[in-house]
Amino acid sequence: MVKVASSFGRSGTHDFILLRASAIILLTYVLFLVSFFVATPQLTFDVWAGLFSNLWMKVYTLLALTALLAHGWIGVWQVLTDYVKNSLGRGVLQFIVSVALIAYWLTGLFVLWGV
Partner 1 sequence: MKKITFSIYRYNPDVDAKPRMQDYTLEMEDNQDMMVLEALIKLKEQDPSLSFRRSCREGVCGSDGFNMNGKNGLGCITSVSSLKSNKIVVRPLPGLPVIRDLIVDMEQFYAQYERVKPYLINEDRTPPAREHLQSPEERAKLDGLYECILCACCSTSCPSFWWNPDKFVGPAGLLHAYRFLADSRDTATEQRLDELDDAFSVFRCHGIMNCVNVCPKGLNPTKAIGHIKSMLLSRAV
Q: State the residues that interact with partner 1 by CB under 8 A.
A: 1-4, 7, 9, 11-17, 77-78, 81-83
Cβ proximity to partner 1: between 5 and 55 the closer is 5
Cβ proximity to partner 1: between 83 and 110 the closer is 83
**Smallest distance from partner 1 to CB 85, Å:** 8
**Smallest distance from partner 1 to CB 92, Å:** 19
Cβ proximity to partner 1: between 46 and 82 the closer is 82
**Smallest distance from partner 1 to CB 74, Å:** 8
The DSSP secondary structure of the chain, one letter per residue, reads ----SS-SSSSHHHHHHHHHHHHHHHHHHHHHHHHHHHH-SS--HHHHHHHHHSHHHHHHHHHHHHHHHHHHHHHHHHHHHHH---HHHHHHHHHHHHHHHHHHHHHHHHHHHH-
Cβ proximity to partner 1: between 12 and 50 the closer is 12
- Which residues, other chains included, contact 76 with Cβ-Cβ below 8 Å and sequence gap of 6+? 93, 94, 97
**Smallest distance from partner 1 to CB 86, Å:** 13
